[in-house]
Amino acid sequence: MMFFENLKKYANGYEVVNSRNFTAEEIAAIQSAQVVNSEFGQSVCFCLISGGKVYIPVSRDSVVETGSPVNMNTAILLTLEKDGDRIDRVEII
């Protein structure tokens, strides 16, 4: 089976081009991770140990409540692509 036949298609033509766990280094840099409401739905708010916050939208296949903490050992970072445009999503298992 061809690689492209295995890609998962998302709304608006985005396809998953990479899926991976967060690395130990990434996990160590995070003080906390929590699901929050954002302008276009739910996002994960990563509070960094070094200061500041980073927001990554939650994948459409994740079923999670706003305010829930995110287990970084089971969360998956998805990279989606359409026409050369890449976006990231967090899949919460």
Res. 2 pLDDT band, cuts 50 70 90: very low
The residue with greater pLDDT, 3 or 80, is: 80
Question: Could you report the per-residue pLDDT of 6-28, keeping only the tens digit for each?
Answer: 445 555 788 999 999 999 999 99
Q: What pTM does this model have?
A: 0.85
Q: pLDDT value at position 7? A: 47
Question: Could you report the per-residue pLDDT of 57-73, keeping only the tens digit for each?
Answer: 999 889 999 999 999 99
User: Distance between CA atoms of 20 and 15, rounded to whole angstroms?
Assistant: 15
Nearest to 63 by CA among 42, 78, 46: 42
User: Which of helix, strand or coil describes residue 81?
Assistant: strand
Q: pLDDT value at position 9? A: 53
Nearest to 6 by CA among 22, 14, 17: 17
- State how far Cα 4 lies from the chain centre: 21
